[in-house]
Amino acid sequence: MRCTDESGRRGRTDEGGEGPGGPCALLAVAWQGGPPRANALCLIFQGTFLLWVPRKGLYLFAVFYTFGNIASIGSTVFLMGPMKQLKRMFEPTRLIATIMVLLCFALTLCSAFWWHNKGLALIFCILQSLALTWYSLSYIPYARDAVKKCFAVCLA
């Protein structure tokens, strides 16, 4: 992606010469606002309306919850690009977390569309939340170790 600053100087977002506060970095951050807004819209829509729809509410909730979480993962694509995002998702440190997140997405949608099982859909939504939390913690240095130690102390 090309962008131009106030002085007319052009640069690329993937070049290292502009620094973190450069205009290309700001443009990338501005573009990131789209998917989180879509995620927020999905969460508001599902939380307030869809659970109260007779007979199909929980299915709709599961579908919108999954699509909202997919949008939230996709929001970082604008900052680092799709290929770098995929490479980072499947690095050895977060490979299991990524597989669990994708598996939970698939199982939630399967339980809503093909199996028509409300209980499974709700369980997979909860598992999605846990898997996404673990996946997100993998991007913060030593965060998963801190969570493990915290649970070890709490459960001991």
Give the residue numbers spanning the domain of 93: 56-143
User: Does the structure show a pLDDT above 80 at 22?
Assistant: no
Better-predicted residue by pLDDT, 61 or 16: 61
CA distances 111 to 119, 122, 124, 135, Å, are 9, 9, 8, 22
In a domain, 75, yes or no: yes
The verdict on residue 7 lying in a domain is: no
CA distance 111 to 109: 5
- Kindly state the average pLDDT of the residues 107-134: 91
The pLDDT tens digits for 36-95 are: 566 666 666 666 577 777 888 888 888 888 888 888 888 888 888 899 999 999 999 999
pLDDT at 9: 52
Whether 66 is in a domain gets the answer: yes
For 3, 35, 85, 100, 102, the CA distances from 96, given in Å and listed in that order, are 37, 24, 16, 6, 10
- Structural domain tally of the chain? 1
Domain-located, residue 77: yes
Residue 137 lies in a domain: yes
What's the pLDDT score for residue 47?
61
Residue 153, domain member (yes or no): no
What tokens were used for 127? 């598992």
Q: Is residue 106 part of a domain?
A: yes
Is 39 within a domain? no
Give pTM, 2 decimals.
Answer: 0.68
Tokens encoding 110: 């399967």
Asked if pLDDT for residue 143 goes beyond 50, the answer is yes
